[in-house]
Amino acid sequence: MLLRLLGAIPTLLLVIVLAFLMVHAAPGGPFDDERVLPTDVAANIQAAYHLDEPLPQQFTRYMAGLLRGDLGPSYRYRDYTVSELIGSGFPISLQLGALAMALALLVGISSGTVAALKQGSMLDRVVMSLAMTGISIPVFVVAPVLVLLLAVKLQWLPAGWSGESGFAKFVLPVITLALPQIAYIARLTRASMIDVLGCDFIRTARSQGLGSKAIIRVHALKPAMLPVLSYMGPAIAAILTGTVVVEEVFGIPGLGQFFVRGALNRDYTLVLGIVIFYAALIISLNLVVDILYGFIDPRVKQR
């Protein structure tokens, strides 16, 4: 476990170095696209943001700030630091992501289990076709189409975010985010549940007269959940990517929106900071999943 923890550090370091180099290898500086500045003014700006220093020195400065949780000033949002912007956007994205993940697990696992129990039936085929559709259609297609249908045409739910209160504004963004994950988890659950239900210990349980429900709950569910658990890492990454789209479509002031705005405005420090933040988040959540996996399936520890 400690080894895994130590293994995550070089990964994170790799991310930081790569991202930093990419931004600084960019042709032209961040302030180039505005009107031409007098040379001394340009030099002053360069000096103010330490862009006149050699690259290694800039990197050391950035790393030193990073260790203190300081990601530098934003180039476009005047008077804000990148850390402040992340602090204001992330809680919203976190809410969305956590709700979507919970929904995806709940619906995905239950529909996958049902499909596995009724393998080959009409219900199974319907669930699996729906799942394939859910996997294929990207979030940025589902989101606007749902808005058009449920918010603009039928007016059941709010289309936007600001000015809305209560739970209603969460419904569409969370469903949109969760759909592809529901589909994926349902497929995974069905496949592994079918595998597990074919095992000897399930046959033994059945021969002892246990009912289907008890077998699923007591014996089959836990081993069948292992593939789903190992999918959690990619799922978290996918949901994070999804929040970028969902926040853009629904006008939610979360981290994803800052990221896209930053990207379009060439706000280098902001984009760099958010990439590093996302990477750190994904790497640590992957670590948590790994450790959980060891607890749930002790066989893994022996490897």
Residue ranges that bind other proteins, judged by CB under 8 A: 10-11, 14-15, 18-19, 22-23, 25-27, 132-133, 135-138, 140-141, 144-145, 147-148, 152, 233, 237, 240-241, 244-245, 248-249, 259-260, 262-264, 266, 268, 271-272, 274-275, 278-279, 282-283, 286
Minimum CB distance to other proteins, residue 202 (Å): 23
Question: Are the CB atoms for 292 and 276 separated by under 8 Å?
Answer: no
At closest approach, how far in Å is the CB of 75 from other proteins?
12
Nearer to other proteins, 133 or 204 (CB): 133
Between 25 and 40, name the residue whose CB sits nearer to other proteins.
25
Q: Minimum CB separation from other proteins for residue 247, in Å?
A: 11
Contact 8, 301 (CB under 8 A): no
Pick 216 or 254: Cβ nearer other proteins: 254
Q: Which residue number, 147 or 215, has a Cβ lying nearer to other proteins? A: 147
Q: Which DSSP string do the residues of 148-200 spell out, in sequence order? A: IIIIIIS--S-S-STT--SSHHHHHHHHHHHHHHHHHHHHHHHHHHHHHHTSH
- Cα separation, 139 vs 145, in Å, equals 10
Is-contact 42 31, C-beta < 8 A?
yes
- Which of residues 42 and 237 has its CB atom nearest to other proteins in the complex? 237
CB closer to other proteins, 46 vs 241: 241
Select 215 or 277, whichever has its Cβ closest to other proteins.
277
Is the Cβ–Cβ distance between 59 and 20 less than 8 Å? yes
Amino acid making up residue 18 = L
Measuring CA to CA, how many Å separate 86 from each of 57, 82, 107, 109? 25, 6, 31, 33
Q: What are phi and psi of 81, to 5 degrees?
A: -90, 160
Smallest distance from the beta carbon of 218 to other proteins, in angstroms? 28
Q: How far is the CB of 263 from other proteins (least distance, A)?
A: 5
Please report, in angstroms and rounded to a whole number, the separation of the first and last CA atoms in the chain. 12
Helices 255-264 and 226-250, packing angle to 10 deg = 60
The distance of closest approach from Cβ of residue 135 to other proteins in the complex, given in angstroms and rounded to an integer, is 7
Taking the complex as a whole, how short is the minimal distance between the CB of residue 203 and other proteins, in angstroms?
Answer: 25
